Amino acid sequence: MMGKNFIPHRIAFYIGIIVIWQIISMVGVWPDNIFPSPYEVAEDLAYGAADGSLFYGIATSMWRLSIGLTIAIAGGVVLGIFMARVEVINQTVGSLVLGLQSIPSVAWVPLAILWFGLTDAGIIFVTAIGAIFAVTINTYTGVKNIDPHYIEAARNMGAKGGQLITAVLIPAAFPYMISGFKQGWAFAWRGVIGAELLFSFLGLGFLLNAGRSLNDVSQVISIMIVIMGIGLVIDSVVFKRLEDKVMSRWGLR
């Protein structure tokens, strides 16, 4: 684990960045509307918070993300288990999954627009499909790596079919599946913002695009900071905790 506490270093580092940023903007190499000062960005954030547009944007994006990610996790876990347990599915569907995984989420946007129109469903589709294959592949790896004695012991003690999946395969593969969820979340977050940029209706991606069309660089930067902040919080609060809990229960750390 971390032997030393680096939080003071971290705080100093970020203060340093803000100070340098402020100095560059004060020197006036670039005009304010191209390179706003940290103060202007903060002002923009405060403005967005005050009129509620920022929170509404966050809520919209998070809502789309959670539905898309839920679909991706449910679908990816089922698909991954079937690929790991049924070789013919692995050889057929599995090869397609590997191919589809290489398509970036935003490349699904044109198809989503044609299929779903400029709707929430289209954005959720892009979010889900961007995340599902990472969940699938990690679940597959996790199930493949289960100690075969666990499965034999469970079968011997009467676990069958669905019971075997819920009582053994999923918990035994869970340490791998968490990595899949984590990757899936990262892909979903990129997917939802990317899709919102192009669909351009509500959400943080929309606010980003709105900033661009208004030539408002400080809005663009402020929204980017929000996107980063949410990413950090979810990573460290949700996934880090989940990971720590499972790892310590298994005695892996």
Partner 1 sequence: MTKLEAKNIVKYFYHDSHKLEALGGINLKVEAGDFVCLIGPSGCGKSTFLRIIAGLEKPDEGQIMFDGHPITETGPERIMIFQEGALFPWLKVQDNVEFGLKMAGIPKNERAKISNRFLDMMQLTKFADSYTYQLSTGMKQRVAIARALVMDPDVLLMDEPFAALDAQTRDLLLVEMQLIWEKTKKTILFVTHNVTEATVLGNKIVIFSNRPSIIKKQFENNSPRPRVTEDESLLKLQQDILAELRPEVKKSRG
Site residues, partner 1 (CB under 8 A): 147, 149-150, 152-160, 163, 167-168, 171-172, 174, 246, 249-251
Q: Which is nearer to partner 1, 172 or 193 (CB)?
A: 172
Please state, in angstroms and rounded to a whole number, the distance separating the CA atoms of residues 55 and 206: 13
CB of 176 to partner 1, least distance (A): 13
CB of 247 to partner 1, least distance (A): 11
CB of 252 to partner 1, least distance (A): 8
CB of 179 to partner 1, least distance (A): 16
Contact status, residue 138 vs residue 176, Cβ threshold 8 Å: yes
Specify the 3-state DSSP secondary structure of 253.
Answer: coil
Please state, in angstroms and rounded to a whole number, the distance separating the CA atoms of residues 49 and 28: 28
Q: Which residue from 47, 64, 67 is spatially nearest to 55, judged by alpha carbons?
A: 47
Q: How many helices (H) and strands (E) does the chain have?
A: 12, 0
| One-letter-per-residue 3-state SS of 160-176 | CHHHHHHHHHHHHHHHH
Q: Which is nearer to partner 1, 34 or 153 (CB)?
A: 153
Q: Which is nearer to partner 1, 45 or 177 (CB)?
A: 177
CB of 250 to partner 1, least distance (A): 5
CA distances from 74 to 55, 84, 108, 171, 243 (A): 28, 16, 20, 15, 19
Q: Which is nearer to partner 1, 55 or 150 (CB)?
A: 150
Q: Which is nearer to partner 1, 33 or 163 (CB)?
A: 163
